[in-house]
Structure 1
Amino acid sequence: MNFGQAIEALKAGQMVQRQGWNGKGMHIYLEQGRHLPLSAGIEKGTTRIYDPVICMYTAQGTHQPGWLASQADILAEDWQTVDG
C-alpha cells in the first residue's frame, strides 16, 4: 500500500511497517492523546494533556514517540499492516 493508505490504517487502529525495514519487529502506530497526572516537579498535581502522536516500535524493543516520515517513506509503495 502507499503512504496515504498506511496513514488511514493508522487512523483505524492498525500498526504498519515498510516491507523494506530490516529491524526485527519495527512498526509504527498511532498513540491516541493522553491525560497524565503529574506527581512531581513544579506542576505536581496538575494533569498534562498530550495530543495524538505517531510512535515507532524500534528494533531495540523501545517505543519512540514523534516518528517522522522521510521522503522515501512518503513515496514508498511497500507499506503493509502488521498483525498483533
Structure 2
Amino acid sequence: MNFGKALEELKNGNKIAREGWNGKGMYIFKHEGFDTNEVSNITGNKHDNVPPFICMKTADKNVVFGWLASQTDMLAEDWKIIR
C-alpha cells in the first residue's frame, strides 16, 4: 500500500512496516502521547503535555520515539500491516 493508506492504518491503531526495510521485525506504531500528569513530573509544569507521535521498533528490539519518514518512505508503495 502507499504511504497515505499506511498512515490511515497507523491512525487506526495498526502497526505498519515496509517490505523494503532490511531489519527483521522493524515496524512503526502510533503512541498516544503523555498526559499532563506524566509530563509535569519531568518538566515541573502542570500544563505541559505530549501529543500523539510515531515510534519505531528497531531490528535490535529498541523503540525510537519520534520516527520521521524519509522521502523514500513517503513515496514507497510497499507498506504493509503487521499482525
- Normalised TM-score (structure 1): 0.85
Rounded Cα–Cα distance in structure 2 between residues aligned with 1:37 and 1:74 = 31
Instruction: Judge conservation of contact 2:39–2:50 (CA < 8 Å) in 1.
Output: no
Matched, 1:60 2:60: yes
Q: How does 1:1-84 map to 2 (within 5 A)?
A: 1-35=1-35, 36=38, 39=41, 43=44, 46=46, 48-83=48-83
Rounded Cα–Cα distance in structure 1 between residues aligned with 2:28 and 2:39 = 26
Identity among equivalent positions (%) equals 46
* Unpaired segments ≥5 residues, structure 1: none
Residues 81 and 47 of structure 1: CA distance in aligned 2, closer, same or farther (over 3 Å): same
In our comparison, the structure showing a higher alpha carbon Rg is: 1
Aligned residues: 81
* Unpaired segments ≥5 residues, structure 2: none
Q: Comparing both structures, which one devotes a greater share of its residues to strand? A: 1
